[in-house]
Amino acid sequence: MIEGKEVDAINEVLGYGMVGGGPGSFIGDVHRKAVNFDGKAKLVAGSFSRSFDNTLSTGEKLGLDTERLYRSFEEMAEKEAAREDKIDFVSIVTPNYAHYKIAKTFLKNGINVVCDKPLCFKVEEAEELAYLAKEKELLFCVTYVYSGFPMVKHAREMIRHGDIGEIKMVMAEYPQEWLANTVENEGNIQAAWRTNPKMAGISNCVGDIGSHIENTVSYITDLKIKSLCAKLDIIGENRTLDTNAGIMIKYDNDASGFYWCSQIAIGHGNDLKIRIYATKGSIEWHQEDPNYLKVVYLDKPEEKLSRGRDEIYPLAANNVRIPGGHAEGYYEAFANIYKNFADALLSKKSDYNFKREDYDYPTVYDGISGVKFINLAVKSSKKGSIWVDF
């Protein structure tokens, strides 16, 4: 890893633009606050809505120069690329259907990209974005937020160092209750677009939260999925996309896995849990109690490691922000992703011997894996829950 002090010594503040994140956007506000944590980048441009009046209103509230508020993302990409002080990267926080076109447009105009997940609808589109980023020598981050939690990073390092042995079984679940009722018919904007295939794509539940399971497990374990067998359930009157799913997994090391994601699980808020069982021990992480990691070794007492108190691997410790016992969570995890991406971009712009792999943030290749996972889960389910190769 590049030492933090080297990058911190760079006085430059990156300028970034945002597409989406206008009135009614939950995730756009999360991204803006996360970027602001470390002062490494400043919002200077935007096309926040398909309505230019909404873009102007949002930009005014955020204190932006009206000259850098745009009627469309196409106009924004073209005009920003032509500026001497053009944005260093764009943050894409629109509904899923728009990700591909927006990302492609900015890449073609030579601008680095941060994109919310899932990356796009089709594997071919995801691969095209990766090709463009490589061809243009641009950085591309996909904001899988749970990889930003320090104790997730510690779990990753434990497995890399062989602390719990060879992985044999992974159990992961992500239940929520927010779509137990058809709130999309009651004015809930987030529910309305997520249950609409034109905006969400071929999957709702697997695309929205099952993709987080896939990425978090992949990040922690570095296991590659060999094949999967999925059953997607459409629960809720007049819905056409899944709201519950169970997915069996076979990994490249012959380990097994089972993922359950649900948006109709009454009693659950945002209850992502990852449990990994190996030959010498097991680890368990809960998103709703993110500052702790349960570790159990064979024939030893159970341990509960605390972020900020107990000794953890440097990769994790470098992303700890406040002392133990003080709650640190979702915003901080998002901020860690932006901090690490900004450090990479600042280093790349400077005279350091830049290597992308030195910086710990989810890339366009993680985005490709997520798109593939969603498409194959839907394919398996539609064909009668058959096993399909990854």
Indicate if 210 and 81 belong to the same structural domain. no
DSSP code of residue 116: P
Q: What is the DSSP letter of 147?
A: G
Task: Please write down the long-range contacts of 69-75, taking CB distance under 8 Å and 24 or more positions apart.
Answer: 69/45, 70/45, 70/46, 71/47, 72/47, 73/19, 73/47, 73/98, 73/101, 73/102, 73/105, 73/106, 74/105, 75/47
**327, part of any domain:** no
122's tokens: 């089709």
Residues 111, 181, single domain; the answer is: no
Q: Does residue 107 sit within a domain?
A: yes
**339 and 266 fall within a common domain:** no
The answer to whether 54 and 69 have CB atoms below 8 angstroms apart is no
Q: Are residues 184 and 282 in the same domain?
A: yes
**DSSP string across 334-363:** HHHHHHHHHHHHHHHHTTS---GGGS-S-B
Q: What is the tens place of the pLDDT at every residue in 133-170? A: 999 999 999 999 999 999 999 999 999 999 999 999 99
Residues 249 and 135 in one domain: no
Residue 28 has pLDDT above 70, yes or no: yes
**pLDDT, position 8:** 60
**Whole-angstrom Cα distance, residue 1 to residue 359?**
7
Query: Is 164 within the bounds of a domain?
Result: yes
For residue 328, tell me if it sits in a domain: no
Label residue 357 by pLDDT band (50, 70, 90). confident
pLDDT of residue 4: 46
Supply the pLDDT for residue 5: 44
Nearest CA-CA partner of 255 in 168, 160, 166, 171: 168
pLDDT in the model for residue 11: 75
**Does position 1 have pLDDT exceeding 70, yes or no?**
no
Please report, as a single letter, which amino acid is at residue 220.
Answer: I
d(CA 104, CA 125): 9
125 plus 48 within the same structural domain: yes
Q: The domain that contains 106 carries what CATH number?
A: 3.40.50.720
| Mean pLDDT score of the chain | 95
pLDDT tens readout for residues 52-75:
999 999 999 999 999 999 999 999
Helix axes 26-36, 330-349, angle to 10 degrees: 60
- Nearest CA to 99 among 312, 367, 282? 367
Identify whether the C-beta of residue 51 lies closer than 8 Å to the C-beta of residue 79: no
Report yes or no on 87 lying in a domain. yes
Which sign does the torsion angle of CA 173, 185, 374, 29 carry? negative
Own/partner pairs, 122-126, CB within 8 angstroms, 24+ separation? 122/371, 122/375, 123/368, 123/371, 123/372, 123/375, 125/100, 125/371, 126/364, 126/367, 126/368, 126/371, 126/372
State percent of the chain over pLDDT 70: 97
For residue 6, name the pLDDT band (cuts at 50, 70, 90).
low
- Which pair of structure tokens corresponds to residue 212? 């987080």
Average pLDDT over residues 173-201: 95
Looking at the fold, whether 160 and 307 belong to one and the same domain comes out as: yes
Q: Strand 256-262 relative to strand 244-251: parallel, antiparallel, unpaired?
A: antiparallel
62 and 35 within one domain? yes
Say yes or no: 131 and 80 in one domain.
Answer: yes
pLDDT tens track for 8-21: 656 789 999 999 99
Looking at the structure, tell me whether residues 114 and 226 fall in a common domain.
Answer: no
Q: Cα dihedral sign for 195, 199, 202, 204? A: negative
At 283, list the tokens.
């680890």
Q: In what order do the strands lie in the sheet with 167-175?
A: 303-306, 292-297, 281-286, 273-278, 167-175, 256-262, 244-251, 225-233, 387-389
Does residue 286 fall inside a structural domain? yes
Give residue 125's domain range: 4-146+334-359
Q: What is the pLDDT of residue 24?
A: 83
Domain membership flag for residue 30: yes
186 shares a domain with 127: no
Q: Is residue 325 part of a domain?
A: no
Inter-residue contact 216 to 369 (CB < 8 Å): no
Q: Facing residues of 184 across strands?
A: none
How many domains does the structure of the chain reveal? Answer: 2
Q: Please report which confidence band the pLDDT of residue 2 belongs to, taking 50, 70 and 90 as the band edges.
A: very low
CATH number where 295 lies: 3.30.360.10
HSE, side-chain direction, 13 A CA sphere, residue 227:
8
Alpha carbons 354 and 344: distance in angstroms, whole number: 8
Q: Which residue has the tokens 């745009």?
A: 70
pLDDT at site 303: 96
Instruction: Tell me the C-alpha distance between 113 and 90, whole Å.
Output: 5
213, pLDDT greater than 50? yes
CA neighbours closer than 13 Å in the CB half-sphere of residue 180: 10
Judgement on whether residues 349 and 274 belong to the same structural domain of the protein? no
Beta pairing class for 140-142 and 292-297: unpaired
